[in-house]
Amino acid sequence: MGIGTAEQHNTQQHLRAFYQPGGPGPEQARLFGGSDMSYIQIEGAGIELLGDVNASFMNDPRRVGQYTPTAIMTTAPSLPTATVTFSERKGGIPRQLMGFGCKANFYELVGTCKDPGDFLRGWSEYVMIYSQGTVKKVDLGDRTSFEGNDRLEGSLDITWGRNPYPVGVLNFGPAGIGTVTAIKVEDICYGSQIQCDANCGISNDGSRFIYAAVDGAAAAKPIVVYSTDYGANWTQYILTLGANAEIPSAIDVVGSYLVVVTKTAGGANQGGYYYTDINNNTGVPNSANWAKVTTGFINLASRAPNDIYVANTNEVYFAADGGYIYKSTDITQGVVVNNAGATVTTNLLRIRGLDNTIIATGSTSAVIVTYNSGKVWGVPTTSPTTGPVGVQAVALQNPSFWWVGTDDGRLFYTVNRGETWVQKRFSGDGAGQVRDIVWATPEVGYFSHSTTAPAARIFSTYDGGFSWTNIAPRINAFGTMANAYRLNVPVYATDPIAANNLAVAGVAANGTDGMVYMGSAGLI
Which three-class secondary structure state does DSSP give residue 303?
A: helix
Q: Which of 106, 139, 167 is the last residue of a domain?
A: 167
Lowest mean pLDDT among 47-56, 339-348, 349-358: 47-56
The answer to whether residues 201 and 139 belong to one domain is no
* Residue 103 backbone dihedrals phi, psi, to 5 degrees: -65, 160
Residue 363 and residue 423 in one domain: yes
Range 443-447 average pLDDT = 98
Which of the listed ranges 174-178, 443-447, 490-494 does the model predict with the highest average pLDDT? 443-447
Same domain, 433 and 443: yes
Return the SS3 of 1.
coil
- Write the DSSP assignment of 152-214 as a string of letters: PEEEEEEE-SS--EEEE-EEEEE------TT--EEEEEE----B--GGGSS-B-SSS-EEEEE
Q: How many angstroms separate the Cα of 194 from the Cα of each of 21, 77, 203?
A: 34, 18, 8
502 has pLDDT over 50: yes
Q: Are residues 252 and 216 in the same domain?
A: yes
For residue 102, pLDDT over 50 is answered with yes
User: Is 159 part of any domain?
Assistant: yes
Q: What is the pLDDT of residue 101?
A: 83
Average pLDDT score over residue span 277-288: 94
**Do residues 140 and 266 both lie within one domain?**
no
Length of the chain: 524
Q: What are the b/e assignments for 496-506, b being 16+ CB within 10 Å?
A: bbbbbbbbbbb
pLDDT of residue 1: 45
Distance CA 25, CA 348 (A): 27
Q: How far apart are the first and last CA of the chain?
A: 21
The reported pLDDT for the residue numbered 2 is 52
pLDDT exceeds 80 at position 324 = yes
Helix (H, G, I), strand (E, B) or coil at 117: coil
Report the distance separating Cα 328 and Cα 314, nearest Å: 7
Phi, psi values for residue 479, rounded to 5°: -80, -165
Banded pLDDT at 148 (limits 50, 70, 90): confident
Structural domain including 446 reads 169-521
pTM of the model: 0.96
pLDDT in tens, 184-210: 999 999 998 777 766 677 889 999 999
Final residue of a structural domain among 167, 183, 214: 167
Residues 461, 1: Cα–Cα separation, whole Å: 42
Q: What is the CATH number of the domain that holds 150?
A: 2.30.110
Regarding whether 100 and 64 lie in a shared domain, the answer is no
Q: Mapped to the 3 state alphabet, what secondary structure does 356-414 carry?
A: CEEEEEECCCCEEEECCCCCCCECCCCCCCCCCCCEEEEEECCCCCEEEEECCCCEEEE
Identify the CA nearest to 315 among candidates 299, 331, 300: 331
Residue 8 carries which DSSP code? S
Q: Is 454 within a domain?
A: yes
Pair (191, 66) in one structural domain: no
Domains held by the chain: number = 3
- The total of other beta-carbon atoms located within 10 Å of residue 31's CB is 16
> Residue 331: is its pLDDT beyond 50?
yes
